[in-house]
Amino acid sequence: MLVFSDLDGSLLDHFSYSFEAARPVIDILIKEDIPLILSSSKTFAEIEETRHALNNTHPFIVENGAAVFIPKGYFVHPPGDTVSRGNYLVYETVPGREQWLAVLEKLALQFPGQFKSFHGAGIAGVMAMTGLAEHQAIAASDRAYSEPVHWIGAPEEEERFLHVLRREGATITRGGRFISVSGDCDKGRALDWLREQYRRALSLSRVEDLAIGDSENDRAMLEAAKTALLIRSPVNDFPLLTTSGGIMRSNKMGPAGWSEGVTRWLRTHRISL
C-alpha cells in the first residue's frame, strides 16, 4: 500500500504550514510500513526540508511531477531511466529549467517590463514577491525544471504572452499569483511511474494506493490512484475528478482533514487505529 500526498493545503495547513494535526496518523503509516510519498509543486530543497521535519525516508515527487527522487539503495534493484544526483536516483520527465530561462529571456524583449520571473528577480526580488523569509526564498528559487512567472503587464497582453510560451513547447500551470512554465509533466504520470517501481520491487500484480490533494494541480494524481482523498480547502473548491476509482472528501481542512481521510481509508483496509 502506498500513500501519495500533496503538501500545501493538504498535509500542511494552508496558512501556518503546520502538519501537527496529521502527526498521529503519519506515525501509524510508519508503524504499518506504508510509504508516505510527498508530491508537490515545491522544489527539491523545499521538500527535503519537509521530509526532514517528518523523518520521512521515502521517494518524493518535485516541481509538479517534473522528477521523482529515490534515495539510493531504497530499491534493491535500482530503477532504470534514472540519473544519479547526490544521494538520489532521479527519474526526470521534462527538460531542465535552462530551456525556459532562455525562452523567457527572448520574451523579455518582446514584452519588456511586463513580467517578472524568479530567476530575473533574484533572491531579494523573490522575497518581495512572495513574502518568504530569505532561506525559504533561496530554497524556492533553487529550481531544476520549472520557472514561476508573475505577470505585471496589461491583462489583454497576458494571453498573447502565454500563447508564445505554449508555441515554444511550454506547459503552463496556474497557481495563485504565479504561472509556472515547465515541460509537459504532471503529478499523475509521476505517480504511475513510481507505483510501477514498487510493484516490480514487491513482485505484486497490483499495488493499492491513495492520493491526497486539495486543488487543480493535484487532479491528475488524484485520478491516477485507486482511491482519491480530496482535502477541503479554505481558498478553493474541491477539484472536479473524472475517475473510476473511489473518491473521499474530507470535512475538515488541511492536516486535520488529511488525518480524517487517511484514517477512514486505513479502516476500509482493516487497519484499525
| 63 binds Mg ion, rule: CB under 5 A | no
List of residues 6+ apart from 156 with CB closer than 8 A: none
**Closer Cβ to Mg ion, 39 or 93, answer by number:** 39
Q: Report the candidate in 45, 46, 28, 26 with the shortest Cα–Cα distance to residue 37.
A: 26
Q: 214, 221, 224, 257: which one contacts Mg ion (CB under 5 A)? A: 214
Q: Report the candidate in 178, 176, 115 with the shortest Cα–Cα distance to residue 146.
A: 178
Region from 42-50, 204-212, 215-223, 244-252 binding Mg ion, contact rule CB under 5 A: 215-223
| 92 binds Mg ion, rule: CB under 5 A | no
Site for Mg ion in 9-48 (CB under 5 A): 9
**Closer Cβ to Mg ion, 13 or 209, answer by number:** 13
Query: CA angle 92-38-99, nearest 5°?
Result: 30
Q: How many CB atoms lie within 10 A of CB 236?
A: 13
| 8 binds Mg ion, rule: CB under 5 A | yes
Query: Per the residue annotation, which of 6, 8, 186, 218 is the catalytic one?
Result: 6
Binding flags for Mg ion, 163-202, as an x/- string (CB under 5 A): ----------------------------------------
- Tell me how far, at minimum, the Cβ of 34 lies from Mg ion, in Å: 21
Q: 6 an active-site residue?
A: yes
Dig out the grid coordinates for 156 from the structure: 489583454
Dig out the grid coordinates for 46 from the structure: 523545499
Pairing of strands 209-213, 2-5: parallel
List of residues 6+ apart from 155 with CB closer than 8 A: none
- Tell me how far, at minimum, the Cβ of 140 lies from Mg ion, in Å: 15
Residues involved in catalysis: 6
Residues that bind Mg ion (CB under 5 A): 6, 8-9, 214-215
